[in-house]
Amino acid sequence: MLGCTKARPGGTLHSAAHTGPGCGVNDLPSPQPVQSLLLFGATGDLARRMLLPSLFGLDVDGLLPEGLRIVATARSSLDDASFRAMTETALGKALEAERLKPAALARFLERICYVPLDAAKPDQFQKLAAAVDATRHPVATFLSTAPSLFRATIAGLAACGLAGGTARLALEKPLGTDLASSRDINDAVAEAFPESRTFRIDHYLGKETVQNLLAMRFGNSLFEPLWNAQHIEHVQITVAETVGLEGRLDYFDGTGSLRDMVQNHMLQLLALTAMEPPAQFDASPIRNEKVKVLRSLRRIGQDTAASHTVIGQYRPGAIAGMPVSGYVEELGRASDTETFVAIKAHVDNWRWKGVPFYMRTGKRMPSRQSEIFIQFRGVPHSIFAHRGAVAQPNKLIIRLQPEETIRLLMMTKQPGLDREGVRLREVPLDLGAVAFADVRRRIAYERLLLDLIEGDPTLFVRRDEVEAQWEWIDAIRQGWVANSMTPRPYAAGTWGPSAAIALTERDGVTWRD
């Protein structure tokens, strides 16, 4: 039981590692750190912008296992030297110059070798197996490739001996385009990797504030008694981006915001917000609670898709004073793909009876803003009303972007003698902003890669969660088809079509912009 009592470096929320009854049960992977990390899609955008900079960040902080070797692979016919040069350029773009100390850089590049490989050709996997020294096990493979290559890659790994024993597999989204295709992928994975060694990535779970949501909810006695329909009026989850297609037209067109953002990131945020207290901060208890929420989501289908969802597509407009093109102009052809979606959802259980969860996400919004907003109910009776003061209901804002903060808006008395009546003011209480001001905020992938290397699946998504997410999303898409819904236009640089405003205003709720 190597590692059962190992203290985990750098973990913020980690319980005393895998102690207690969970340790050793068969849904927990071997906690041995991996010695080889295989990176598929190593020349791709994600690897260059996120994965390699994250691995470098971990290395600089001494968090990678001493002998860890990174075996990068992609189709491009590069050699070690040219891949290392590409890595150096990528790090230069992604990180501040002062973090790229020559000695640290040299040590990191030394860990990397490159094996050109066409995943569709099974015979090429032997080269990969040869690059993983027999002494450098366990191995973790990170698939950052098109899902169409998953099946062939997994079969190749299994055939060359890189799937058995303690080998782990991490998969990047998209994990399918609907429930059926997601099951296909999951079945292909399951043929070679048991669930305990499968790490499905949702990079939102690696964000510090997302984990802080759990610390706030379950590390304090203050919030939990109020965290229910009796005290919370509604919840808003917004993930607004200013970017447009960013050269990802092949992927995004035909995918759309519902499948790109809601199916994964936003439903995970909703599940963490709504879930019951898990018994422990560990993989099974957390994922058990999340999946219960996902399965309690009220189905939105043919009858309710038109009243509970709004879809939009951006037209030309301006963001921060700069003109930007519309979606179809960027794409170069007509399209019915939504770049904005707003949804009124419900979690049908005792805790959340009657509480709407409004979600919206969009490209080309006025600002980059991602947050979970909890609107509490007002005081039952205002003792200040006859003195002209209004007590606003409390609000909690868990902000993921652009900065990571948690802010509670409270009513306080404005100082003074109150000769003209009592004046109350809404004042923010910032949790953590000052206490952790000097702590470097890590890239979400740093946390996830380290957890993969160390074998902690807590912040990864289990198969039943992904499938519950797809089931809910598929019904919405069927509802759109049944109602012949197509995206409504909105100008780039605005908060989506006006129908999205009407979606909440009907309930007397205003989106927090």
Of 236 and 296, the one with the shorter C-beta distance to ligand BG6 is: 236
Asked if residues 161 and 188 have their Cβ atoms less than 8 Å apart, the reply is: no
78-137: contacts with ligand BG6 (CB under 6 A): none
Contact pattern for ligand BG6 over residues 366 through 385, marking x by CB under 6 A: ----x---------------
Question: What angle, 0 to 180 degrees and rounded to 10, lies between the N-to-C axes of helices 52-60 and 80-94?
Answer: 80
240-259: contacts with ligand BG6 (CB under 6 A): 241
- Closest separation between CB of residue 370 and ligand BG6, Å? 6
SS3 string, 37-48, reads EEEECCCCHHHH
- Closest separation between CB of residue 40 and ligand BG6, Å? 18
- Closest separation between CB of residue 364 and ligand BG6, Å? 11
CA angle at 157 for the pair 152 and 158, rounded to the nearest 5°:
100
Of 137 and 512, the one with the shorter C-beta distance to ligand BG6 is: 512
384-423: contacts with ligand BG6 (CB under 6 A): 401
Structure tokens at 453: 């290397």
Of 424 and 444, the one with the shorter C-beta distance to ligand BG6 is: 444
170-209: contacts with ligand BG6 (CB under 6 A): none
Q: What is the DSSP letter of 476?
A: H
Of 172 and 233, the one with the shorter C-beta distance to ligand BG6 is: 172
Of 241 and 467, the one with the shorter C-beta distance to ligand BG6 is: 241
Catalytic, 265? Answer yes
Q: Is 15 exposed, middle or buried (0-12, 13-18, 19+ CB in 10 A)?
A: middle
Q: What is the DSSP letter of 148?
A: G
Rounded CA gap, 313 and 496, in Å?
A: 8
Q: Is 268 exposed, middle or buried (0-12, 13-18, 19+ CB in 10 A)?
A: buried
SS3 string, 262-327, reads HHHHHHHHHHHHHCCCCCCCCHHHHHHHHHHHHHHECCCCCCCHHHHEEEEEEECEEECCEEECCH
- Closest separation between CB of residue 260 and ligand BG6, Å? 5
DSSP three-state, residue 187: helix
Q: What is the DSSP letter of 124?
A: G
Structure tokens at 456: 């902690």
The catalytic position among 265, 308, 346, 381 is 265
Rounded CA gap, 443 and 439, in Å?
A: 13
CB-nearest residue to ligand BG6: 260
Rounded CA gap, 142 and 38, in Å?
A: 6
Rounded CA gap, 477 and 474, in Å?
A: 5
Of 260 and 454, the one with the shorter C-beta distance to ligand BG6 is: 260
- Closest separation between CB of residue 378 and ligand BG6, Å? 32
Residues in contact with ligand BG6, counted by CB under 6 A, come to a total of 4
Q: Count the helix, strand and coil residues of the chain and give each as a percent rounded to the nearest 5.
A: 35, 20, 45
Asked if residues 331 and 249 have their Cβ atoms less than 8 Å apart, the reply is: yes
Query: Which residue matches tokens 């890595």?
Result: 87
- Closest separation between CB of residue 334 and ligand BG6, Å? 21
Question: Is residue 260 within the footprint of ligand BG6 (CB under 6 A)?
Answer: yes
The contact set with ligand BG6 (CB under 6 A) reads 241, 260, 370, 401
State the catalytic residues: 265
